[in-house]
Each structure stands twice: as structure tokens, then as C-alpha cells.
Amino acid sequence: MTDTERALREANPIPDSDERWAAGTLDERALVELAGLRADRGPSRRGVLVAAAVVTVAAGTGAVAIGLPFGASPAQAATPALLPLTQASSSSASAALLAIAERARTSGAAPLTTSREVSYAGWYLNTSVTDARATSAVCPQQIDQSDNGDGTLTLRTRRLAGCDPDTGALNATAAPVGTATDEQVIPANQTPAPPTDPTQLPTYLDSLAGARTDTAGLFRAVRDLAITWSLDPALRCGVLTVLANAPGITAAGETTDRFQRVGQAFTVDSDISGLPTRYVLVLDPASGNLLGYEAWLTEDAGKLNVSIPAVTEYEAWRY
């Protein structure tokens, strides 16, 4: 993820009531956060264009948006349905995460090699913000990352069949089709390898989180790790142990993810982005693999013309 992309995600959108938007400038807090994000921690996953009065965040590498026209009162963009969450009745988040961590540790007959072969689907709310609001939705993209053996990576993006173009909803048979809509080679050493010693994971994840020091930042760091590295059982156990020791996490019970798999959901709420947002991790309860990461606006859409609650992004991993 580039510094520009992350800065846009954290600084935009801002609430309607904030008069600073009209001036087109960042306040002191935003400038401080932007400065803290200027460390290159990974490959760009989405294109970003910044203009004086308009910010457009493209959805998916090479994705084609279904745009809604600008106007005084454009129709609200359709976003994917929220995952069904059933609050866990007894287990605390920490206990539930530690139980999955232990199952992850013993999920392989022998330790597996940590790999950079990664495959996932990504949906991102494509947004253009001006005085006249406009938003659009896109179908998820399939992103496949391969290791070239020389330290570089190749990212290939294809559209997914089995997707509702109005809502971005997937079905269980959604599969990549056609040739790659985008292909890029990521230089070597852009994303440092996770430590082989699980006790060093807290420091490593902190480095991925950057300026985001709350638990939502940790959720994002886990996501950033998962889009670049496929972890062996010991490291999955270590990551889940770090999560188990973090404050503010809720065990949200069993859910069905974007590919209709049963998973265990964990959530944390934060307004560090400028708007109240719920971040969701969906884990395979047997292996500890990350099945999904999501961000939902819960109270206020700011200048985004979407109905609350609204999904603004999700990723769903294939294994």
C-alpha cells in the first residue's frame, strides 16, 4: 500500500460539518498522520488520483468503475450487504482468539514454508467527492500474487464472474475470468518478511500499522500482512496471540463470509479515520487463516452518498 493511498483512506472522507473541506487543505492532525505514513510498506494495490477539488480512489488494480453522474442529488451507491454477525454468548474475544491460535499451531503435520503466493478477491468503494456528491460501485476483482523467484512479485488482476454489478455481492462460485486487466511487477524488498520468531511479531505489526496505533490499526496491519504473505501455522498462531492481547476487540460469533464459508468474526470500532467505522476480521476457526477483512461505516457517511451502515471495502482470501 502506498503512502498516498493510505493517507487518502485515513483522511478522506471527512464529515459534512467540517468546513475545512471547502478550503481544500489538511488540518494539523491530518498533516501529522500523513507525515507518519510516508514509509513505503508494500506494493500499490489500487490506483489513486488526487486533484485540487476532487479525490478519486480507484477500486481494485485496473478495475473499471460503474460511475454515477454528478448532480445535486445523485442516487445513492449500492454497497455489499453487511456480513451476518451473531454476538458470541459466552467466550471473550481474547479466549476465542487464543483457542483459534492453538488450533492454528497444530493445524499442520509439519511446519509449512511461509509463502508469497497469495490469492484474494477485493471490493473497494470507488468514490469521487465534490460539492455535488457522487459515488459508484464496482464488482470485486480477483488478485493473484506470484513469487518470481528473484525477490520480485507479479500481481495479476482479473474480474470475477458471479458478481452483482449493482452491489458488488459475490456468490460462492465466483471465479476469475478472462485475461488480466492489470499486471504489475513489484520490486524486491518492498514488503519485509515477517519474523521467523513469533515473539517479534508485535514490533513487526506495529511497523505495518504505522501512525495508526489503535487496535483498528492492528487489524489493518494483519490485513496488509495477509495480502503479501501466506503464513505457516506457527506465525498464524503468533499473529492471533498478538490480537488476543489487544484491547477493544469483540467476538462477534459465527458468520458466513463472501465466499459462503463459515468463519469466526471479530470486530473493533474506531473513528481514527474521521468517521465511526467498524473493522471486521473473519477467521477460519480450524486453521486460523484470515478469510476476510472488512470496513463498515456505522453512523455517518460524511460526504459519501451511501446509506448507513455501509461496507466501504472488503477482501476475501482463497486458500
Identify which of 79, 14, 8, 99 has the alpha carbon closest to the alpha carbon of residue 50. Answer: 8
**For residue 125, what pLDDT is reported?**
81
Strands 170-186 and 48-50: what pairing? unpaired
**For residue 51, what pLDDT is reported?**
22
Report phi then psi at 242, rounded to 5. Answer: -60, -45
**For residue 131, what pLDDT is reported?**
57
Please state, as a whole number, how many other Cβ atoms lie within 10 Å of the Cβ of residue 193: 11
**For residue 7, what pLDDT is reported?**
39
Q: Which residues pair with 127 in a beta bridge?
A: 57, 135
HSE-up of 263 (CA within 13 Å, CB side)?
25
- The C-alpha angle with vertex 87 and arms to 201 and 286, in degrees rounded to 5, equals 50
**For residue 168, what pLDDT is reported?**
80
For residue 270, give every residue at least 6 positions away whose Cβ sits within 8 Å of its Cβ, in sequence order, or none: 214, 215, 216, 276, 277, 279
**For residue 129, what pLDDT is reported?**
55
**For residue 189, what pLDDT is reported?**
77
Q: How many domains, in total, are found in the chain?
A: 1
In order of 98, 133, 172, 287, the CA distances from 233 in angstroms are: 13, 46, 26, 8
Instruction: Give me 64's grid cell.
Output: 473499471
Report the b/e string of 278-309 with b at 16+ CB within 10 A.
Answer: bbbbbbbbebbbbbbbbbbbeebbbbbbbeeb
Contact 111, 232 (CB under 8 A): yes
Contact 30, 13 (CB under 8 A): no
**Virtual CA dihedral for 196, 198, 204, 205, nearest 10 degrees?**
130
**Which residues form the domain of 66?**
3-317
In order of 43, 110, 189, 203, 313, the CA distances from 270 in angstroms are: 25, 38, 31, 21, 15
Q: How far apart are CA 51 and CA 248, in angstroms?
A: 37
**For residue 56, what pLDDT is reported?**
29
- The DSSP line for 52-88 is SS-EEE--STT---BPPPPSSSPPPPP-PPPPP----
Q: Which residue carries 460539518 as its cell? A: 17
Residue count (the chain): 319
**For residue 41, what pLDDT is reported?**
33
DSSP 277: E
**For residue 23, what pLDDT is reported?**
42
Q: How far apart are CA 218 and CA 171, in angstroms?
A: 29
Strands 250-256 and 262-270: what pairing? antiparallel
HSE-up of 284 (CA within 13 Å, CB side)?
20
**For residue 76, what pLDDT is reported?**
63
The pLDDT profile of the chain, 319 residues, written as one tens digit per residue, is 444 344 334 434 434 444 433 444 443 334 333 333 332 333 334 322 222 222 223 333 333 333 333 333 445 667 889 999 877 656 799 999 999 999 999 887 555 557 889 999 999 886 655 555 555 667 889 999 999 999 899 999 998 888 887 778 888 788 888 777 889 999 987 778 899 888 899 999 999 998 888 999 999 999 999 999 998 898 999 999 999 999 999 999 999 999 999 999 999 999 988 889 999 999 999 999 999 999 999 998 887 778 889 999 999 999 8
